[in-house]
Structure 1
Amino acid sequence: MNASFGRLANNTIGVFCLIFMVSPLVLVVLFSFGSSSLMTFPLPGVTLGWYDALLARDDFWSALENSAIITGSVGLFSTVIGTCAAMVIARLRPTLSAAAFFLFGLPMMLPPLVLALALLSLFSVLGIKLSLVTVILAHLTFTMPFVILIVTARLRDFDYAVIDSARDLGASPLVTFFTVTFPLIRPTLFGAALIAMALSLDDFVITFFLIGGGNTLPTLVWGMLRTGLDPSINALGTLILLFTVGCSAAALKLTGYRG
């Protein structure tokens, strides 16, 4: 009896937690299709007008271009650099590996506001003008730790005998990587890149501090909110949500995550 009651209580709490976390996202999607400018129930009708209004905005396209440049660059560079770091960390002794994980993971553990202020101070001291480049560099600091963790976890179970065999047969380190290592860890690398891209696209605080001028999609949402509650904001939020969830789902599939 007590066991059954405990399971029922746990399931009930789990359902309520799930509803609490998911319902705001569902509302964003629903109101993006509502025909009324008032975000209330019941919806008077269904329309794609708010998406048309969003696509008609010039600042949306410039923000989309900036987000694409930043997200694509972060996905590429974080994967390349993070993979190189992971290949070294995976073959270190446990004590050195733990120290390396701690140092690389520091930006991931810092509050975004603190990290943004630190990077802003650094760029100011170095005399680097704020631009998309500074945003990309900043995003690399907190996305690379995720790539390193994911790739290192894959390399822990890697059979290094195949690499040694390739080297014994005369293959250079570069040839060995592209013909042996890369094909075996390719799904993990693509998954890590997608996670880095999702994190980069979703970031607001660091981007807001370091972009200097212009907008990305998250900062455009902030700007639109300051001028009023326009349902086209929900349309933009839905697009960001679809991309983020899509990248995360594809990444989990590619990396073989099983919970």
Structure 2
Amino acid sequence: MNIAYGRLANTTIGILCMIFMVAPLVLVVLFSFGSSSLMTFPIRGFTFGWYGALMARDDFWSALANSATVTGAVGVAATVIGTAAAMVIVRLRPRQSAAAFFLFGLPMMMPPLVLALALLSLFSVLGVKLSLVTVVLAHLTFTMPFVILIVTARLRDFDYAVIDSARDLGASPLKTFLTVTFPLIRPTLFGAALIAMALSLDDFVITFFLIGGGNTLPTLVWGMLRTGLDPSINALGTLILLLTIGSSALALRLTRYRG
């Protein structure tokens, strides 16, 4: 009897925690389709009008283009550089690889506000003008550690005998990577790239400090909140939510690959 009550209590707590975490996201989606400008219950009607109002904003399309530019560049650069770093780390001795993981993981462990201030100070000292380029460079500092961790985990189970065989047959290091290594770890690389893109797409604090001018989708949400609260903000939040969840879900599916 006590065991049954314990299981019931654990199940109830788990369900309540899930509701607590998911309910705000569900409300964002629901109110984005509500016909009333007041975000209250009961929802009076169903409409796509707030999405139309969002699409009619010129700043939405410019923010979308900026977000696409930043996330695309971050996804490619973080994957290329992170994979190269992972291929080196995985061959290091345990103490050396642990030190490398710690150093690469520092930006990931730092509060975003502190990291944003540190990068802003660095770019100011170097005289670098704030732009989308500085945003991409800043996003690389906290997305690359995730790529390194994911790719390293895959490479630790990798059979390096196939690489040695290719090299013995006269293949160059680049040809060996393109014809042997890359096809075997390709799903993991795509998954790591999508995770890096999802993290970059969602970032607000670092982007806000380093963009200089213009907007990405998260900073546009902040700007819309400052001028008023209407359901078109929920429509934008829903779009960001769908993009993030979609890319993350696909990434998790791809990174389960084990060859």
Shorter-chain TM-score: which interval?
over 0.9
Deviation at residue 5 of structure 1 after TM alignment:
1.2
Q: TM-score, normalised by structure 1?
A: 0.99
Distance in 2 between residues matched to 1:145 and 1:6, nearest whole Å: 39
**Letter matched to residue 80 of structure 1:** V
Partner residue, 1:169? 169
Taking only aligned residues, the RMSD between alpha carbons, in angstroms, comes to 0.9
SS in 2 for 1:130: coil
Q: TM-score, normalised by structure 2?
A: 0.99
Q: Is the aligned partner of 1:13 residue 2:16? A: no
Distance in 1 between residues matched to 2:197 and 2:237, nearest whole Å: 17
Partner residue, 2:222? 222
Deviation at residue 257 of structure 1 after TM alignment:
7.5
Partner residue, 1:191? 191
Q: How many residues align?
A: 258
Determine if contact 2:201/2:244 at 8 Å carries over to the other structure.
Answer: yes
Distance in 1 between residues matched to 2:257 and 2:85, nearest whole Å: 21
**Letter matched to residue 208 of structure 2:** F
**Structure 2 unpaired stretches of 5+:** none
Equivalent residues in 2 for 1:203-222 (5 A)? 203-222=203-222
Partner residue, 1:138? 138
Partner residue, 2:25? 25
Distance in 2 between residues matched to 1:51 and 1:2, nearest whole Å: 52
Partner residue, 1:74? 74
Partner residue, 1:40? 40
Distance in 2 between residues matched to 1:30 and 1:228, nearest whole Å: 19
Distance in 2 between residues matched to 1:187 and 1:200, nearest whole Å: 20
**Structure 1 unpaired stretches of 5+:** none
CA pair 257-37 structure 1, distance change in 2 beyond 3 A? farther
Q: Is the aligned partner of 1:64 residue 2:59? A: no
SS in 2 for 1:115: helix
Partner residue, 1:83? 83
Deviation at residue 3 of structure 1 after TM alignment:
1.3
Deviation at residue 219 of structure 1 after TM alignment:
0.2
Distance in 2 between residues matched to 1:28 and 1:91, nearest whole Å: 46
Identity of aligned residues (%): 86
